[in-house]
Structure 1
């Protein structure tokens, strides 16, 4: 019990430190967390409004792109932030009470809370300004947030090890990750694609993540091809693999 309490206090202290480092040390740090997604959503809305009369789903372009972008961020923002949790807090690992996993938990909690707050702050004004009548399905939103952040946690745990052991892998991961924005169904519906293309896109679990997040806002969305079991299984496998690899190499992470 003392062990759990000690690490809970360490994680809380690291969480405060991360908040100060990430947001407090930069002008408009907290504001930028909102401006970044807003800029993406406005850009996509302007571009697609110029070439189409209606969005692929519903009647509001900003709402369509916001639900796709925010849903995707439950994975993308967390994964990018967690990948360097240990290396960025290397100096703190000289303290015996600070374990490598504590740095990951602190960043995971901070990013999950940040994405939730950003989602509320971005989506609420869109709903209010466009006067959209919504029947929000909270179970879809909660599950999408948890599965997306779980995939990110598993990926982040593994990458903290793999980035250190295999520097080339870090570059490869960055290259492979860039197209995810294009193949996760953020600005289109995977179920509207031709069968061959749809099957390829739906091999990407993040496409299912975005589909489920949108299901929480669009009650009429049937999400053809959505597979909740596939998404959950991928999340659990990612988490299991990440924890196993991280646990096996935690001594090496502290020593480096």
Structure 2
């Protein structure tokens, strides 16, 4: 039998982990696959009705449901990625007895699964919106894809760091999960960042999610103008620093992570 290279082994390991993660995400409940679609639809319906009652039916020249979908879909992907990576060590601890499987492999597998699920759900919603009569064209598609990937890299770095932190302090998991709830509102998912309090804007602009969602909306919606202070350079710099910090910490603690007494 021809020996396999390290790359081939790594590819096989990640592929097997992707299949395992997909089965766990979609097959652990009868409604698992359906809920992936129901969750964003419920968000859209509830907040679209509330916004229509309180203000109007459009924002920045587009229908409010389209405005929300463009920002909500990426945010849910990034949130789910970070939180799923945070739980990866505990949920895959039994696999680390195999020397071919490393914690980093489980991180990569979870990112792939979450991205595929989010892309499928977004595609279904886009086709549904287009069939209903909404304009779902992307104004600057190449820049949009690049920003989406940048946000995914940021959430990967954040999730890895959260996994390392909660591995040492598991009691922080609940606090971290709760912290994503206010982020949902202060990141501009439901309203343009220009609607947020101007006095708090210098503080709000420290949040990379706000920058990412503003950039995404500007690249999708032709008439949308990001709030002053939004910068792609800030997101890139923040992501690079976070990635180096996460990978450095992971390398320093990688042997401790696979211990069956931890996680």
TM-score after normalising by structure 1 = 0.93
Q: Does 1:229 align with 2:209?
A: no
Q: 1:162 to 1:194 in 2, by over 3 A?
A: closer
2:120 equivalent in structure 1: 117
Structure 2 spans left out of the alignment, 5+ residues: none
**In structure 1, the residue corresponding to 2:158 is in which secondary structure?**
helix
2:34 equivalent in structure 1: 31
The superposition leaves residues 102-143 of structure 1 with CA deviations (integer Å, 9 ceiling, x where unpaired) of 111110111112112222211232133134274531123212
Cα RMSD after superposing both structures: 1.8
Q: Does 1:126 align with 2:129?
A: yes
1:89 equivalent in structure 2: 92
TM-score after normalising by structure 2 = 0.90
**In structure 1, the residue corresponding to 2:215 is in which secondary structure?**
helix
Summarize the alignment of residues 35-54 of structure 1 with structure 2, pairs less than 5 Å apart: 35-54=38-57
1:242 equivalent in structure 2: 246
Deviation at 1:219, TM superposition (A): 1.3
1:201 equivalent in structure 2: 204
Could you tell me how far apart the structure 2 residues matched to 1:133 and 1:206 are?
22
8 A contact 1:65–1:186 mirrored in 2: yes
Could you tell me how far apart the structure 2 residues matched to 1:108 and 1:251 are?
22
Deviation at 1:60, TM superposition (A): 1.0
Q: 1:32 to 1:171 in 2, by over 3 A?
A: closer
Runs of 4+ in 1 over 4 A off after TM superposition: none
Summarize the alignment of residues 161-180 of structure 1 with structure 2, pairs less than 5 Å apart: 161-180=164-183
54-63 vs 78-87, which deviates more?
Answer: 54-63
2:147 equivalent in structure 1: 144
Could you tell me how far apart the structure 1 residues matched to 2:134 and 2:83 are?
34
8 A contact 2:81–2:111 mirrored in 1: yes
Deviation at 1:74, TM superposition (A): 3.1
Could you tell me how far apart the structure 2 residues matched to 1:162 and 1:193 are?
31
8 A contact 1:58–1:64 mirrored in 2: no
Among 243, 247, 257, the residue aligned to 1:253: 257
Summarize the alignment of residues 50-61 of structure 1 with structure 2, pairs less than 5 Å apart: 50-61=53-64
8 A contact 2:13–2:105 mirrored in 1: yes
Structure 1 spans left out of the alignment, 5+ residues: none
8 A contact 1:190–1:207 mirrored in 2: yes
Could you tell me how far apart the structure 2 residues matched to 1:111 and 1:179 are?
22
